[in-house]
Amino acid sequence: MIEEADYVVCGGGSAGCVMAARLSEDPDKRVVLLEIGDANDRLLVDVPAGLQMVVANQETNWMYFTEPDATQNDRRVFWSAGRGLGGGSAINGMVYIRGTTYDYDHWSKELGCTGWSWDEVLPYFKKSEDFDGEDGPSHGKGGPLGVSQLRAMHPLAYSFMDACKEVGMGEVEDYCAGDIDGTFVNHATQRNGKRCSAAEGFLKPAMSRPNLQVITGAMVDKILFESNRAVGVRFTYNGKSRDIRVNGEVILSSGTIQTPPLLMRSGVGPGAHLQERGIDVVAAREQVGKNLHEHPSLPNSRLVYEPTYNVRNNPLILAREGLKYLFTRRGWLATAAVHAMAHVRSDPDLQYPDIKYQMLPFWADANAKGYFGADNPVPDSAKNFGITIGVNLMTPNSRGQILLQDTDPASRPMIDYRIYEDPADLERMRKGLKFANTIFEAPALAPHIKATAFPPDPHQSDEEWDNQLRACSATGLHPVGTCRMGNDPEAVVDTQLRVNGVDGVRIADCSIIPLLPSANTNAPAIMIGERCADFVHGNRR
């Protein structure tokens, strides 16, 4: 096993795969990627419809739980995070979306992230992309990441979009160009009907390079410092502690949840918290682990007359779809989770949308059954066709933090997040859910609706909505912000993603995001990896 490298990348998620692939393009630099999970080289990852099974697998999903959340009836809320090469890109819903011009211009102009405006990040989105649609100024061709038009489109997605237009929304011609104010069919991170994770797109083609070593099953413990300069990484492999010396830089790509604990175990973080855990402080950085935020999420679902993807227990249909996928890479097995999207304002006076709708051609009753208990009035989703408008709040005000349980790298971090700490977030979610009723009742969609699903009474009182939000809300699976980027003294990383207070360490993952973009976070994570690789190439020591 290699004992010395120029660059060590800690974490093989979306941005980590990008970093390892891009840095190893220089044959004179030795690159090591350390990932605790496995290669994720399995059929259920490749086949898009395998999503539900890989999300429920502890080998591919960390399956975190938060600390009890007082704003959600003291529930410990489930949080997904990808485990293994590709990270979240190997288990996500494959939605490809970047956000808006406003998101990144706001980072640059208002949040001190100079160099991160829309015009400056767009080339990096395009650099990574291999789009299978028509050429255009907002898309890239020939990049490592397959981005595809949906190969299996449920007809009710078009009805959803028509209904959105009937209630006053516009149709967005190219949502990748920085405008999402309206409704559109989304693209997916697929290539030829198969999932294209960051591992598949970026890392796999680079694996044969002699200067790149990928070590799976490696649990990273800490960065090794001499004074405040990173000189190595300590990790556990096959039960033994090992050190690798780093001549260039350490890149942390362990994600929003795991990157802060890795920094803290290394002595970089809130001083008092580290001292309480018996950790010598290398650099007191109080904002490490802070600024955690997520998209609150709750479904609004209906039963429909047409067959949808939550009922697939007919063996003849399954056989037909299996053969269709085998020979054409189309059909149900090629489907993505989300088939269309829309964005609205919870308050008409807002300049930009703050509510995201995702149209899913299926529905699930697990949360609903748990809420209603023995007197459950919710129909069985295994026997009743349905569709869902998944409602996300794109711009939450509430913030949380990540803390260490102890110094053991195998311990789960403490996720302390009160999703509705700001009551305005609860109110805006309620408004978004109620407006979804209007879409279901619009002329284009109403004839397809057979009955209610969840909630049983979609026209319930505000108090009942709030009770369900507190009892059933999940997250959008898009945590960000725990190693915030900026140019202020409290920022964890500077605008070239260098960790402030130490030398030789950068962060490339969604923890650096100062404020959630109006988007799912896989495409932004890959863009961050592309930018960080360029920063490293331009600042070699």
Q: Which residues are catalytic?
A: 478
CA–chain centroid gap for 429, Å, is: 20
Tokens 């979009």 sit on residue:
161
Q: How many helices (H) and strands (E) does the chain have?
A: 15, 26
Q: Which helix (H) or strand (E) holds 317?
A: helix 315-328
CA distances to 61, 93, 150 from 336, rounded to whole Å, are 18, 6, 7
**Whether the Cβ atoms of residue 410 and residue 419 lie closer than 8 Å to each other:** no
Q: Is 457 exposed, middle or buried (0-12, 13-18, 19+ CB in 10 A)?
A: exposed
**Whether the Cβ atoms of residue 413 and residue 262 lie closer than 8 Å to each other:** no
**Whether the Cβ atoms of residue 509 and residue 429 lie closer than 8 Å to each other:** no
How many CB atoms within 10 Å of residue 518?
Answer: 22
**Whether the Cβ atoms of residue 126 and residue 145 lie closer than 8 Å to each other:** no
CA–chain centroid gap for 164, Å, is: 25
**Whether the Cβ atoms of residue 391 and residue 304 lie closer than 8 Å to each other:** no
**Tokens describing residue 274:** 């580290």
CA distances to 62, 138, 492, 504 from 514, rounded to whole Å, are 24, 24, 10, 22
Helix (H, G, I), strand (E, B) or coil at 177: helix
